[in-house]
Amino acid sequence: MSEVFQVSLDNLIKGDLEKMKKEIDAQEFEKFQKDGNVFTVLFIILLIAPVPLVLLWKWAGLAIYLALFGITMIYAVRIEKYKKKYDIQTYKEIVAFTDGKSLDEIEKTREEAKRPYQKVLLAAGAGLLVVVIAVIMTAVMKWFM
């Protein structure tokens, strides 16, 4: 085939592989963005929905909330798999990935050094957010009762 098309065997094989690899990466990127958007919406609903669901439908509302929680966790696991596959953990790495770029070696080392304390800050921020939402939901429920 390479003689017929007057192309080297390397170019014949690698040319197709590079094109296929770029197409697969583009498809993976689209899936990552879609899953990220779905997860964001579901997470916001998870923060707001528990009290109204339970007050309106009691045990059925709790079952709906638990099902919604399970679906959200499925998307969270999918996103974590993408992050692990492409070695993106910090915000800067995720932004670079979604822009179709990669960090150079020095930036990558700096971002890896930030990961431990960012995880602590993220956990503390998530806990604070839960407390604030709980206080707001309690105030709203007292106001309606």
Q: Sign of torsion, CA 62 125 120 72?
A: positive
Q: Are 113 and 90 in contact (CB under 8 A)?
A: no
For residue 12 the two structure tokens come to 């014949």
DSSP 73-98: HHHHHHHHHHHHHTT--SHHHHHHHH
Residue 4: predicted pLDDT:
63
From CA 145, how far away is CA 141, in angstroms rounded? 6
For residue 114 the two structure tokens come to 């930030």
Residue 20: predicted pLDDT:
47
pLDDT in 10s for each residue of the chain, 145 residues: 556 656 565 555 555 545 545 555 677 778 888 998 999 899 899 888 888 888 888 888 889 988 999 999 999 899 888 877 876 666 666 677 667 666 665 566 666 666 677 777 777 888 888 788 878 878 877 776 6
Half-sphere exposure of 23 (CA within 13 A, CB side): 6
Residue 130: predicted pLDDT:
79
| pTM greater than 0.85 (yes/no) | no
Q: Tell me how far the alpha carbon of residue 11 is from its chain's centroid.
A: 37
For residue 36 the two structure tokens come to 């990220």
